[in-house]
Chains A and B, each alone.
Chain A
Amino acid sequence: MSDIAPRILSGVPVCGGIAIGPIHRLGSAEVGARQATGDPEAELAAFAAALSAAKAALEQLLESEDELAGEILEFQAILLEDPDLIEPMEATIRAGTAADAAWAEAMDAEIRAYRESGEAVLSARADDLADLKRRVLRALSGEAEEGAEVPGGAIVVAGELTPSAFLALDLGRVAGVATVGGSPTSHVSILARARGVNLVVGIAGADGLEEGVAAILDAGAGTLEVAPGVARLADAETARAEGASRREAAERHAREPAETADGVAVKVLVNIDDPAILETLDPAICDGVGLTRTEFLFKDGSPDEAAQLDFYRRLIAWADGRAVTIRTLDAGGDKPIPGITIDGEANPFLGVRGVRLSLARPDVFRTQLRALARAAADAPVPLKVMVPMVTVPAELEAARAILAEEVARLEGEGIPCAMPILGTMIEVPAAALTAADFDAGFYSIGSNDLVQYVTASARDNSAVAALADPLNPAVLELIARTVAAGAAGGVEVSLCGDMASSPRLAGTLLKAGLRVFSAAPAEVAAVKAAIREARTGADG
């Protein structure tokens, strides 16, 4: 394996830290062909046997799993005994269709219906159905379930990974997991977060790697480094050990408030970019929600008002009396949404994105604002809504005018609603330099875009990644100015980009005057720990 060229593959970080180990490739999720018997009675018998084999396997898995995994597996198991689902399939088989074809066709239709429902809770279950479909097809073709014999300490690499294949891995022995497909919001990602598994998804080319090659998986950076040199391995091992012990110490104090070493109270909020994480995340670790990325609601098209309202209410109920901030749709740039964003822009990061798109497509914006105003009606503390990519005050005022129109319309219809607190994101340098000119209920600094625009370094171009430095003095100056404008005007300032999720930057942000951080759920404990060690004074 010494003749393999070292290289670094990039993907999307999900959770965890650094893992070092040999690559182990999981077999494909494809199921081999099955020879149908051609006899409806024999097909029915094979179908029944496959269903009970699948059920037995699920029940065996269930015994060893925790609550979230249990919920996923239990839902799959009970579907195998669903009369509305199974009886029509049996009728199809009786009429001459092969068992595997009858099952696959009916399940595909269900998976489509779940996926296209526009409801986050339902579309998240589509993966479970796909998983179940594969499991029964495997039972029908007599194939064994994979995953049993992963070598200890390996970095498991797969094309697509289903929730049950993930759970079938001996996670205590696996160093990390890397997949070509998947997203940070998939069920596998949620399971991995809950279990502290190092996971990176979306790594193009990972499935072409050779079995047994040494690799470093950096789940914080989202990279898979293949065939690294001896010096790189040693560095990675040091970083891994340090990260592990730091994380362990921080987790013990995750639910305690964050106060700096010199006694200044700091709020640590959480970023929500996936509804399913609410099922596993304890709100007691944070002081509220500083950013809700609503783009996930739009991943299967524009959700209607009721579907959005359902999620916003669920989020507010989860927060249990803590403040909740929801960002209006931030599409465009590196987040295209079919049917909503504008295709073919020469320079999408400088084009019609964020609030620019919302004002250009007010129908989508109005639906979201109506749902938000309705959710605000029964929020225990005032709901905060923020608008992304604002450049000039007129954009915030245009958004406010539309919001006020929708509130008035709801009132006219006799539907309970309330005007949320309207804030602005500060991520365009022009806004950072003129923050005081915005009539905003709060400022939320979006450091990812602020860094990109201040350093003129595109977020999606790795060739300029080194220039996109959050510690560039110009970036820190703009953050400090925004904080100062907030202090002068009595406006709360928070920061919700990746900078707030980086423990190493906490001290710098505190010195810039920041007192409200909004971090990724997995980083809250580590950020709190870093704040406790830091001092706010310039001499610290």
Chain B
Amino acid sequence: MTDPITHDAADWVAGDAVILDPTGLHARPAVKLTKLAKTFAAAVEVRADGDERWVNAKSPNSVMKMKAAHGVPLHIRANGDDAADAVAALVALVERNFDV
């Protein structure tokens, strides 16, 4: 269910993963996602399919307020030296269903 990681014109590295958790992206997964994003120097942003706005993946409050239910594709992008690693790590976390 994952698209290959792509580089776009503005130096953003992007990837997608589908949220498997039946309860969606609520507190526990949101905390895990932001903690992982913070381990990278790159700017990391996420967006639920259907939303227009990208939000800071290092902000638990912003991620929590994003509506991302079960089965929704989550778009992830990063910009910076370790951007590719950051996107790969976040995609993998979502695909592992946040290690629940």
Contacts and interface: CB of A to CB of B under 8 A. Distances in A.
A268 B60 CA distance: 39
A85 B62 CA distance: 9
A110 B59 CA distance: 13
Given A74-B31, A78-B34, A78-B35, A310 B61 contact: no
Contacts of B69: 306, 309-310, 313
Contact of B27 (A83, A125, A306, A309): A125
A82 B60 contact: yes
Contacts of B65: 113-114, 117, 122
Contacts of A83: 56, 58-59
A75 B55 CA distance: 18
Nearest to A320: B22
Interface string B44-76: 000000000001101111101101011000000
Contacts of B67: 119, 306
A84 B61 contact: yes
A314 interface: yes
Contact of B60 (A75, A278, A310, A314): A75
A74 B26 CA distance: 13
B22 A313 contact: yes
A194 interface: no
Interface in A498-528: none
Contacts of A318: 22
A156 B50 CA distance: 47
Nearest to A316: B22
Interface in B7-63: 22-24, 26-28, 30-31, 34-35, 55-56, 58-62
B67 to A, nearest CB: 7
A409 to B, nearest CB: 21
Interface string A206-224: 0000000000000000000
Nearest to B28: A71
Contact of A314 (B24, B55, B56): B24
Contact of A85 (B26, B28, B61, B70): B61
Interface in A276-322: 278, 306, 309-310, 313-314, 317-318
B22 A82 contact: no
A280 to B, nearest CB: 13
B31 A313 contact: no
Nearest to A74: B31
A71 B61 CA distance: 14
A244 B88 CA distance: 52
Contacts of A121: 23-24, 26-27
Interface residues of B, number: 22
A335 to B, nearest CB: 26
Contacts of B60: 75, 78-79, 82
Contacts of A122: 64-65
A514 B44 CA distance: 57
Contacts of A314: 22-24, 70
Interface in A36-51: none
Nearest to A307: B67
A85 B59 contact: yes
A310 B31 contact: no
A113 B61 CA distance: 11
Contacts of B26: 121
B56 A84 contact: yes
Contacts of B35: 78
A313 B70 contact: yes
A113 B67 CA distance: 13
B83 to A, nearest CB: 18
A228 B69 CA distance: 51
Given A113-B65, A117-B65, A313-B70, A82 B27 contact: no
Interface in A90-140: 110, 113-114, 117, 119, 121-122, 125
A121 B28 CA distance: 11
A113 B23 CA distance: 20
Contacts of B62: 82, 84
A71 B31 CA distance: 9
B23 A79 contact: no
A113 B28 CA distance: 20
B59 A82 contact: yes
Contacts of A71: 27-28, 31
B56 A317 contact: no
A278 B65 CA distance: 20
Interface in A310-364: 310, 313-314, 317-318
A409 B34 CA distance: 40
A401 B24 CA distance: 32
Contacts of A309: 69
Nearest to A275: B23
A528 B65 CA distance: 40
A120 to B, nearest CB: 10
A403 B41 CA distance: 52
A124 to B, nearest CB: 9
A313 B65 CA distance: 19
Which of A119, A306, A310 has the most chain B CB within a 10 Å cutoff?
Answer: A310
A114 B30 CA distance: 15
A456 to B, nearest CB: 43
The 6 closest A-B pairs by CB, nearest first: A317-B22, A84-B59, A314-B23, A121-B26, A78-B60, A310-B69
Interface of B: 22-24, 26-28, 30-31, 34-35, 55-56, 58-62, 64-65, 67, 69-70
16 contacts: A71-B27, A75-B31, A79-B61, A82-B34, A82-B60, A84-B56, A85-B61, A125-B64, A278-B23, A306-B69, A310-B24, A313-B22, A313-B70, A314-B22, A314-B24, A317-B23
Given A71-B31, A82-B61, 6 more contacts: A71-B28, A78-B60, A79-B60, A83-B58, A278-B23, A314-B24
